Chains A and B, each alone.
Chain A
Amino acid sequence: MVMVPKIKVNIDGKTIEVDKGKTILQAANSIGIRIPTLCHDPRLDPFAACRVCMVEVERGKSNTLITSCNTEAADGMVIRTDSEKVLKTRKMVLELILSDHPRDCMTCERCGSCKLQDYAYQYGVRESRFFEKPDGGIIEDENPVIQHDTSKCILCGRCVRICAEVQQDYAIDFKNRGFETETGTPFGKPRRDTTCVLCGQCVSTCPVGSLVEKQAVGMGREWEFKEVKTTCAYCGVGCTMYLNVKGNRVVKVTSKTGSIPNDGNLCVKGRFGFDFIHHPDRLKQPLIKKNGKFEEATWDEALGLVAAKLSEIKAKYGPDYIGVMSSSRCTNEENYLAMKFARATIGTNNVDQCART
């Protein structure tokens, strides 16, 4: 292992030791000091676009305001994250961002998990001295999973960067200049006709309500959802994800950075391939075939029939004429019980699944 040299910095009066190469933001986070950020996502390279992570650094006689997300902590640095100058600057930065942002939190899907809303609340920013009517609106796109509202975009570039840096699909980018700047697909083409793979990574990183899960629109407020941590049921990578539940319904799937093994990343199947759960084709009642046609039955009738038939065949031909085929889609516990059922209940080692394929 290569030993990383340590440096000493002073943050808000506390002197700490951190690995050389860490940013001021990382150094502060390591001792539990939270600096607000909008354009920062640990999965991405620092970008310093939103400017809310400003901190004050002592530089000789005069102090300097710098962005903490992209500034490397240097040995002997003295940093203030909560000075009056810092708080005043942050407030103004928030006012500038809000100047071009709709104030319709009451109907916004992100209400309750929006970072801009949180910071406006935290810093008491009710009005903006610079208020203009925001441009843009919801982009019309046939895709059923991603809704993109450019009026809410704060141009933090997280969607653009996650698409380029992490996915390397380059499906969305900034367009136009100045006040007209917005994010979107090349020439405003529908997502289906671009390199977009509908992974929804842009949705996962958007700090505001600009990019949201279209299927969850109108399905409930953030605080009504119960988040259930689970493991994705598609491929063998085993991504950690969260089922957002309201009532007895999975409304959307979300992820969190830092989770193992996927660090908050999900693919199109994991994030948007959940609607099979509530599909009308789901089998809801045991079925018994009578004269070539399936008829609904109770569990008692169905299990009674299966038990009787398997016992009869076992008695007539012996256990090795019966087989159990389990599935690599089922849990370990279910595979174990299928195996135990074959071996202990039936009395045969004829038990397998499709795992070899």
Chain B
Amino acid sequence: MSFGSGAMTNSISEIKDCKLIFLIGGNPTEAHPIVGLEMKKALRKGCTFIVADPRKIWFAQHAKLYLPVKPGADNWLLNAMAHVIIAEGLENKEFIKTRTEGYEELREFVKDITPEKASEFTGIPAEDIRQAARLYATSEKSAIYYTLGITEHTCGTDNVRTIANLALLTGHIGKPSTGVNPIRGQNNVQGATDVCIPNKMPGYQDVTDNAVMEKFEKAWGVKLSRTPGATAPTMFERMSKNQFKALYVIGEDPVLSEPNQDYTIKGIKNLEFLVVQDIFMSETAKCADVVLPAASFAEKDGTFTNTERRVQRVRKAINPVGNSKPDWQITSELSTRMGYKMDYPSPKEVYDEIASLAPIFAGINYARIESNGIQWPCPDTKHPGTKFLHEGKFPRGLGKFFVLPYRAPAESPDKEYPLLLTTGRTLYHYNAGTMTRRSVGIIHKTNDCFVEVHEADAKELGIFDGETVKISSRRGSITARAEVSDKVKKGIIWIPMHFAESAVNKLTKDAYDNITQTAEYKVCGAKIEKI
């Protein structure tokens, strides 16, 4: 990619010292509340905020500059900012010369992407785009923070690279409190990606690399396939075509979390055998042939890796509830039964095996992370871990500028479905809600699905605040309580993703980013009707 590795370039502790934060497609006060608190610290210390989001979120209300960008049009905003930086001579010439490549192509490309043109697509005044570019380029310590508002698009990867272009243009990378930072959604997204993806062995080693595969074959005593495997979306595609026969699901609820629920359920029904391992009877578990009861995080030992690449301990506080067992134990027993012996005495030995096979974790073990955790890369047991990435050099050598023209979302509002539906998280609930909806304190604040509608749209549709309405897309419909305000822009509606009875993934489209295969949860056409 632009730098050569994908993770937060800085640490959470560096946030408070930022001089400028450009927050785009993220709502930390709700989705990552403690990162939100660190940003509030920065705000108190005088940090300038530029916030680009279709919703007037907390930080939008406290920002120096709020850019109400239309969902799916981020590319225009970012490229126009690059245009302004170059046109006004605000680029970091020294940095571009010594640390990057592809600058000429980018300069040529963004020449025509004027703030005026971008304004038409994004709905942001041209002068505000100029102002944002100037502030970002000229601040002493500028950091960009983004989350799924940037990535959950068919052009998600393009968006990330367009963000990286800005950092490379200005040299705002590789220094404390200065960088490009995706904030990871779930507790162990970083860790799961580090060790469990179809085209890489743990620690981002290629499955097509023979030397790598020989190392694993030797350690595991088994012959391994060199063909990159199917991603989750590909598995569902093959299921729908009846080209997939069995699925072992651990702690996931694809029926509720994959886009286009009907399609997912149909695919699962085509399977000959489905086994689901979870702590609750999830929507997916209901479809299973066998359900295995797993232990919760309070009932097991292990590690999670947070958004700043910190490997941290999870510790067993109580015995597994009922007859449940920790996932690591279930998988091991199943494997042994199938003829491949896994007999780890505890998760500690599993981690030691990971460290012995993946160089970026080589220096990490349970004794070293007893008190605080260590941030990878950590190549040996003397290494203190890595606080921020890309100081002096990028993993791929030179940072690369990408020329990325705008690509429209897979589905835009039209006559029949005139509203633009976008989705997200609230403070009180978490993903599919299986945990939070069973917590009394949390359901005290919110326990029903709602749809945010702009006042003007509500007036046109004749709907009132608090009224239950029907929301439909080409794929299905749900009902939810209308929350009428000016929080969202006119023409846009927003629905949280936590409520199974009003599952918003019945509406969202199963269109994916061409590289990461992340689904476009953030844009589709929809309509609202009175009931």
Contacts and interface: CB of A to CB of B under 8 A. Distances in A.
Interface in B164-222: 183-199, 202, 207, 216, 220, 222
A196 to B, nearest CB: 9
Contacts of B300: 331
A324 B250 contact: yes
Contacts of A139: none
Given A282-B280, A284-B293, A352-B231, A236 B347 contact: no
B314 A143 contact: no
A289 B292 CA distance: 12
B249 A325 contact: yes
Q: How large is the interface on A (under 10, 10 to 19, 20 to 34, 35 or more residues)?
A: 35 or more
Given A237-B32, A327-B192, A228 B315 contact: yes
B440 A275 contact: yes
B331 A166 contact: no
Given A261-B306, A357-B185, A243 B148 contact: no
Interface string A279-299: 101111111110000100001
A268 B354 contact: no
Interface string A321-357: 1111111111111111111111111111111111111
Nearest to B182: A236
Interface string B426-466: 01101000111011111011000000000000000000000
A130 interface: no
Interface string A78-101: 000000000000000000000000
Q: How large is the interface on B (under 10, 10 to 19, 20 to 34, 35 or more residues)?
A: 35 or more
A175 interface: no
B442 A272 contact: yes
Nearest to A226: B317
A231 interface: yes
A321 B328 contact: no
B187 A344 contact: no
Contacts of A323: 229-230, 235, 244, 246-248
Contacts of B325: 299
B452 to A, nearest CB: 18
B289 A245 contact: no
Given A230-B314, A248-B319, A283-B280, A322 B436 contact: no
Given A260-B373, A306-B275, A338-B331, A328 B347 contact: no
Given A269-B442, A323-B248, A261 B11 contact: yes
Contact of A333 (B222, B328, B438): B328
A329 B249 CA distance: 12
B468 interface: no
A349 B198 contact: yes
Interface stretch (A12-20, A120-128, A204-212, A307-315): A307-315
Contacts of A104: none
B202 A276 contact: no
A215 interface: yes
Nearest to B44: A165
Contacts of B231: 352, 356
B99 interface: no
Contacts of B327: 330-331, 334, 337-338
Nearest to A305: B290
Nearest to B38: A261
Contact of A230 (B298, B322, B323, B340): B298
A277 interface: yes
B35 A237 contact: yes
A13 to B, nearest CB: 33
B188 A328 contact: yes
A169 B202 CA distance: 42
Contacts of A233: 187, 296-297, 304, 314, 435
B225 A343 contact: yes
Given A234-B187, A352-B230, A353-B192, A336 B202 contact: yes
Residue from A232, A285, A356 with most neighbouring chain B CB atoms (10 Å): A356
B312 A284 contact: no
A249 interface: yes
Interface in B32-79: 32-35, 37, 40-41, 43-44
Contacts of A238: 187, 304-308, 310, 312, 373
Given A144-B444, A260-B373, A285-B323, A353 B232 contact: yes
Contact of B317 (A228, A273, A326): A228
Interface string A230-263: 1111111111100101001110000000001110
A341 B331 contact: yes
A249 B40 contact: no
B367 interface: no
Contact of A267 (B12, B34, B311): B34
A341 to B, nearest CB: 5
B230 A261 contact: no
Contact of B518 (A240, A262, A267, A356): A356
Given A231-B313, A273-B436, A310-B273, A243 B298 contact: yes
26 contacts: A142-B444, A168-B43, A168-B44, A230-B298, A235-B31, A235-B430, A236-B187, A236-B190, A236-B307, A269-B436, A276-B436, A279-B280, A281-B281, A282-B324, A283-B281, A283-B285, A288-B289, A322-B245, A322-B247, A328-B188, A331-B347, A335-B188, A336-B350, A340-B342, A347-B224, A352-B198
Given A233-B435, A328-B189, A337-B328, 15 more contacts: A166-B41, A236-B32, A248-B319, A261-B13, A267-B427, A276-B279, A282-B293, A283-B294, A294-B291, A303-B330, A309-B275, A320-B227, A321-B244, A325-B247, A329-B252
Q: Top 7 A-B pairs ranked by shortest CB distance?
A: A284-B322, A238-B306, A349-B229, A331-B302, A327-B251, A236-B184, A267-B33
